[in-house]
Structure 1
Amino acid sequence: MKLTKSKSCDYSCFMCRHVEQEWRNQIDNNKQVIKLKRGERFIEEGGAVRGVYFVQSGLVKVHRRWGDKEMIVRFAKNGAIVGHRGVGATQDDYPISATALEPTVLCFVDIAFFMSTLRFNTNFTYQLLLFFADELQVSEQKMSNMLRLPVKNRLAWSLVLLYKMFSTGDGDGYLGITLSKTDLAAYLGTTYESIYRVLVEFTETGLLRLEGKKIFLANMPALNVLALQKNP
């Protein structure tokens, strides 16, 4: 993991977008840039909270142990915040791990500076509160789906959600991120074999188109029906 001190920033991350403009100089003076290779882990579940990260480029998975398996909590793209789950009045350890899924550049600020940023930038604090609320709703829906829905409905719901989050809007149906079947299985809380079987079914019925690891949503209306189906 390569750390550098850098003042170059396009101010597009979650923190820079919502702080007061004059506070950006403070960010420039306190941040570190971290360059990661694919597969490098920069947060370890149970490790002491050091600070908060923002994705400048690349893709990150946020994950945690689930028995003897891995469960992916969320994916983070350009501009996204990572490590905020370790922030709290009595929180000392990260409850999650975070790993780069491709070459990734992060901006890191230590916890003391991050807490100061919250105190002196009310809009940033407000926007972070809304982000936490949205993230909690998605997490609760995911857990509900895992308990109630078969894999094909969970996959449809997850693909529609990821498309909304990551699609570039080109209209070609591309999901916007390239994920392995193993990562998809960990995101849904199921097995590789189940994901493989449902992907084949969705492809044969024209719901999806696969090009290598790239997933294209070929029939969004039908996927939405499956995603919203409550009693399959």
Structure 2
Amino acid sequence: MIRWLHSEQDALPDTRLALPTGSDAPGLLAAGGELTPDRLTEAYAKGVFPWYSEGQPVLWWSPDPRMVLMVDEFKLARSLRKTVARFIRTPGCEVRIDSAFDRVITACAATPREGQDGTWIVAEMIDAYRQWHRRGFVHSFETWIDGELAGGLYGVSLGRMFFGESMFSHRTDASKIALAALVCFCRDKGVPMVDCQQRTGHLSSLGGREIPRQEFERRLTLSLGEPRIRDWTYHLSTWRRLVPPEPHHAAAKDVG
């Protein structure tokens, strides 16, 4: 039985009650309720996230296993490493944090996804995460080229945990550059793990892997016990652990 949440006062059930592998909706934990910053804070602190389509009630998920990216296991392929290094060196190319959050989440909602009809980032969800962003718990990492937003991602930060939500690209590899920037930022801030929710081949190629839900929740509890990040400014020096400085070459505006 899936529990129905009637009001904000109804707590999310224990994640062990989520539908198991082999069921019609593995990982589905509960349905109903409203998307509010308080409800989202409760959910993410338990490792639960909303995922549903237009016309459906809010659906709450806790999959087992869980896809994560350990930031020290991030794989930067040679071609992407060259792209990132070129991006760092090129005038007019920069990474920003939270300078255009509304544009990022809107672009993520509008980006077609292979195998998906429509978007799960529905209007209600955009509104809720905008409110949560204004409280300082949702952040965007943005790739800018010559003053234009070329790509980016957004996600949730609680304690020393980052929950990746979605990304988009208007230029080749722009979202991957934003992800590499996020990884560098997490390493500098002592964030060991990025939640990726569900497995994709793309995330696997970048070093993501599945872990049992119990292990995920154990790691999550440890990260939530750490003080939250207060400084969300981004510095060029954060790249250096990922891409060592190289001799300067001619600038190239094409990110791809």
Q: TM-score, normalized by length of structure 1? A: 0.31
Q: TM-score, normalized by length of structure 2? A: 0.29
